[in-house]
Amino acid sequence: MLRLPRLLTDCAVLQQNKPVHVWGWDEPGRRIECVLTLTETELSDDTEYKADCTVTDEGRFSLYLPAFEAGKKLELKVSDDKGETLTVKDMITGAVWFATGQSNMDLTFDRLRDNYPEVIAASENDSIRCFDITSETEYSGPLEDTRTGVWKCAKPENMYGFSGTCYFFAKRIHDVIGIPVGIVHASLGGSHISSWMDKEMLSGYPELISESEKYGDPEFRESVIRENERISSGWIAECEKADKGREGNWKNGIPETEKSTMKLPNFFTAAGLDDFVGTIWFEKKFTAGEMFAGKAARLWLGTITDTDEAYVNGTFVGTIGYQYPPRKYTIPEGVIRKGENTLVLRVRADGGFGRVTPGKRLMIFNDECKADPWSNELPAGAIDLSGEWDYVIGCKMDKKAPETDPLNWHPMGLFNAMTAPCTAYPIEGIIWYQGESDAGMTDEYVELTRLQVEGYRRLWKDEKLPYILAQLPNWTDSYPPSSDGDHGQWDEFREAQKKITKLVPGTYMTVNIDAGEDNDLHPMNKLLVGTRLADVALDVMYPGTCKRPSQGPDVESISCEKEGEGYKIILSLNNTGEGAAAYSPDIAKRGSIRDFSVVCGGRIVPVTAELSDDAHISIFFEGGAKPEGIRYLQRNTYLGEMIYNTSSDDGEKKICKPMAPFILKI
């Protein structure tokens, strides 16, 4: 039976200026004819392009048709000598990028809908299209075709399944150079880089290959699935049975005689519940006036570790079963009454790190007092739920929830199922946003990335295929960040990511140290991440089209001279655009530059800095010995204003790209 891959279906974007690859499957020995027709042509254009071949003994065929410049609309007909014909309509030529990584590449507008309602409403654009592959693994070997995926163009009804980073990347390229952009998207939250590599790329890591081969055994995989279900459901059932709140029906209110108090949002350790595992039932009384009485409303509770259930006046309004998604629940009409109301929140802490995340708003609001999703301020008229909450422990478990086997994260599995089938489809480049799950590695990650890049270029048959990675943003697991601590894995990992671009030709990096949220592993500002990736792509593939800097300032030279009882250090910057500027997107961190430190005598000493002009940073070090090195942004997150270049590409001078974290010798 004649069959084409899912990538060659209606609405596909074909890579400009590369031969069109048509492949598929049929009965061995069949003759295949392909006809590619220009559906919108000028009088001088040829309208049809043909090629033919014979199906191999393995039942596969492959042929190439001429390359086209961007913007050509095409129809493809593939037929065999048995009389079967397949027609692919509404194809267009443009820039095709393969977007891959973990959860922050995967994050869709379904999660971002409150932050970008205007973007979603105005998204209709036939020149921005996405082929989204549902996350899955295959350990027996690389698949020839994806099991899922369909091309969709950007429009409001499709946007909730679009990756935010991918959409903003595509939109920026389209807006600047006007060509169609297609994204082939393959990502999975929590995945490791080794999950996205094949056997040849991992040939120097026999332990990873052995691990992958183990999961290639169907019986073993089934046993893992059964064991995951057994241990997980067993622990949860035990917890449910022991929870006094279930039997006591505490969704209507917790027992008066057993109440303690805790300020929320907060870590549970703040109430002395160190390493607590089990359930806590929280209660908050709130007063509603005419603005809320009888009306539907929104309940926002930030993020919670690990699972939660929310009840208003005994009515269930929402639950989420793991820690990362923001709790945004709808309270139905008729639930809130005028006067006193009761909100009950049941939280189950599975691993001893329970929290209602600090720094998040806890509130009830409606259309009469809409919340700004980008602000942490309470909207006027909203009901503030922060502060003292009553609570009662439902049950205290003796052991943490058992760790299950993350079946989809093992080496080679995601590559085989999601990446391998795409390598026959010509692309312009790769964007990669991954690393949160591998932040404990540095040198090994650099080597794995080198092998991954070289392997992808081999498979796509393009030695110069650009590879653009997103450096990890700011984030800390100890919110709010401490000025004398918060050194962790992410600052070291960012240095490893930067090293990749020095080691592997044709690799590039965007800096996102300002694009995160200190208290959220999944920040909402995908506009910043996506457009920065696109600016680098524009600079690499279409030089001169990006009218603003695609990268931030960097240090051109360092001087260090004795001055009084200390040393004056001057950093001379280049790539400052229209001048360097100091800025913090976090209002609470504005006022001074606090993220420099000097290395002296083996010690790391924090220092303050200032911009002496639009291309120089001045630092005074009061130590007696001459500094040996200087460090910038070597923490999980930033503490003060950061250094940016500026640009007036849209007519108004604005900050543009941040300077990358660094460690330099003096």
Confidence of residue 650 (pLDDT cuts 50, 70, 90): confident
Confidence of residue 484 (pLDDT cuts 50, 70, 90): low
Q: Which amino acid is at 637?
A: T
Closest CA relative to residue 632, chosen from 603, 592, 593, 582: 593
Whether residue 652 sits in one domain with residue 562: yes
Confidence of residue 481 (pLDDT cuts 50, 70, 90): low
Whether residue 536 sits in one domain with residue 440: yes
- Answer whether residue 497 is part of any domain: yes
Residue 53, C-beta contacts closer than 8 angstroms, at least 6 positions apart: 31, 32, 61, 62, 63
- Answer whether residue 32 is part of any domain: no
Average pLDDT, stretch 442-451? Answer: 97
Whether residue 438 sits in one domain with residue 536: yes
CB distance 567 to 623 below 8 Å = yes
pLDDT tens string 296-339: 999 999 999 999 999 999 999 999 999 999 999 999 999 999 99
Whether residue 582 sits in one domain with residue 523: no
The number of CA neighbours under 13 Å toward the Cβ of 307 is 14
Average pLDDT, stretch 591-595? Answer: 97
Confidence of residue 94 (pLDDT cuts 50, 70, 90): very high
Confidence of residue 623 (pLDDT cuts 50, 70, 90): confident
The answer to whether residue 479 scores a pLDDT higher than 80 is no
Which of 490, 510, 541 is the endpoint of a domain?
A: 541
pLDDT value, residue 486: 58
CB distance 330 to 299 below 8 Å = yes
Confidence of residue 44 (pLDDT cuts 50, 70, 90): low
Query: What is the DSSP track for 482-493?
Result: PTT----HHHHH
Whether residue 560 sits in one domain with residue 415: no
The answer to whether residue 427 scores a pLDDT higher than 70 is yes
Whether residue 198 sits in one domain with residue 269: no
Which of 340, 366, 396 is the endpoint of a domain?
A: 396
Closest CA relative to residue 22, chosen from 39, 36, 11: 36
The number of CA neighbours under 13 Å toward the Cβ of 182 is 26
- Answer whether residue 632 is part of any domain: yes
| Average pLDDT along the chain | 96
pLDDT value, residue 307: 98
Query: What is the DSSP track for 60-95?
Result: EEEEEE----TT-EEEEEEEETTS-EEEEEEEEEEE
- Answer whether residue 12 is part of any domain: no
Whether residue 281 sits in one domain with residue 310: yes
Q: What is the DSSP letter of 660?
A: P
Whether residue 660 sits in one domain with residue 515: no
The answer to whether residue 506 scores a pLDDT higher than 60 is yes
pLDDT value, residue 485: 52
The residue range of the domain holding 657 is 554-665
Q: By percentage, how much of the chain surpasses pLDDT 90?
A: 95
pLDDT value, residue 42: 58
pLDDT tens string 555-586: 999 999 999 989 999 999 999 999 999 999 99
Whether residue 449 sits in one domain with residue 374: no
- Answer whether residue 209 is part of any domain: no
- Answer whether residue 443 is part of any domain: yes
pLDDT tens string 184-200: 999 999 999 999 999 99
Whether residue 609 sits in one domain with residue 486: no
Strand-by-strand arrangement of the 383-384 sheet: 327-331, 297-302, 363-365, 383-384
pLDDT value, residue 488: 73
Closest CA relative to residue 170, chosen from 428, 510, 547, 515: 428
The answer to whether residue 487 scores a pLDDT higher than 70 is no
- Answer whether residue 548 is part of any domain: no
The answer to whether residue 347 scores a pLDDT higher than 80 is yes
Query: What is the DSSP track for 86-155?
Result: EEEEEEEEEEEEEEEESHHHH-BHHHHTTT-HHHHHT--EEEEEEEEPPP----SS--SS-SS--EEEE-
pLDDT value, residue 482: 63
- Answer whether residue 333 is part of any domain: yes
pLDDT value, residue 274: 95
Which of 497, 515, 541 is the endpoint of a domain?
A: 541
Tell me, what CATH number does 162's domain have? 3.40.50.1110
Average pLDDT, stretch 457-483? Answer: 90
Whether residue 564 sits in one domain with residue 535: no
Whether residue 458 sits in one domain with residue 352: no
Q: What is the pTM of this model?
A: 0.97
| CA pair distance 563, 566, nearest whole angstrom | 5
Q: Which two tokens stand for residue 350?
A: 């599975």
Cis peptide before 443 (omega within 30 of 0): no
pLDDT value, residue 649: 86
pLDDT tens string 604-614: 999 999 999 99
CB distance 428 to 541 below 8 Å = yes
Number of structural domains the chain divides into: 3
Q: What are the CA-CA distances from residue 217 to residues 141, 191, 224, 229, 250 (Å)?
A: 11, 20, 11, 19, 46
Strand-by-strand arrangement of the 387-396 sheet: 260-264, 387-396, 278-288, 339-349, 307-312, 315-320
Tell me, what CATH number does 351's domain have? 2.60.120.260
